[in-house]
Amino acid sequence: MTHAFALPRLLVISAAALALVGGPAMAESQYGYTTTVGAQVTATARVNLSIVVPKLILLRVGSTTAGGDTLGWTSGFDIPPTPVANSNQNYAWSGAAPVATTSANPGALLASAWTNSSGGGDLSYTATAFGTGGPTLANITVTSAASTGAALNHPLPAALATASTTVTHFNPNALSNSNWTYALAGTPGTWQAGTYTSTVTYTATSL
């Protein structure tokens, strides 16, 4: 008779244990207990708090125009006088090589960066080369003038290359601003006729 009830009792205990394991999660709970009069007992319970702050990085160079701002220069000639757009104009050419000129540099662009990444951020650039026969990237130099907040210097080299060699670091949770001025140098009298373009892409990377 004793062995006849052993298996059902084991099943009841196992079912109760499974009910405890598979039941809903319970908050932490403790108790203190004593039969000694005047003795203190304690019970503690913990609550864990978790706050998730997403990582954000922002970069702006120039306006918010889709595709980026276009900075342009025009090369001309003083032969003299400055020629007009027409054909077969009378001109007493002396036979000397014409003097090539370029238009004034465009206005400065505001460059801004911000991140809440604990290590701050690094700013770099890549640039596509101009076509053969015209100016080179090295003919474009970029200078920085501090604006509000911390300065955001242009990555080096300041005379453009196909990729920056030295990044610009900016600190976390601090707005960095500078005005970037792009200037054209070189010898336009040696450049062949045509339109030469390059795209400079700036990348801000969180650290």
pLDDT per 10-residue tile (average), the chain, 207 residues = 40 42 62 89 93 97 90 88 80 85 94 98 98 97 90 97 98 97 94 96 98
Residues 206, 115 contacting (CB under 8 angstroms): yes
Any long-range contacts for 32-41 (C-beta under 8 Å, 24+ apart)? none
Closest CA to 200 of 5, 99, 62: 62
CA distances from 62 to 12, 112, 116, 183 (A): 75, 9, 22, 15
CA 118/CA 173 separation, integer angstroms:
9
Q: What is the pLDDT of residues 62-114, one digit of tens each?
A: 998 888 999 999 998 888 777 777 888 888 888 888 889 899 999 999 999 99
| SS3 state of residue 147 | coil
Element (DSSP H or E) covering residue 123 = strand 121-127
CA 113/CA 151 separation, integer angstroms:
10
Predicted pLDDT at 24: 53
Predicted pLDDT at 6: 40
Tokens linked to 92? 């007493």
Predicted pLDDT at 139: 97
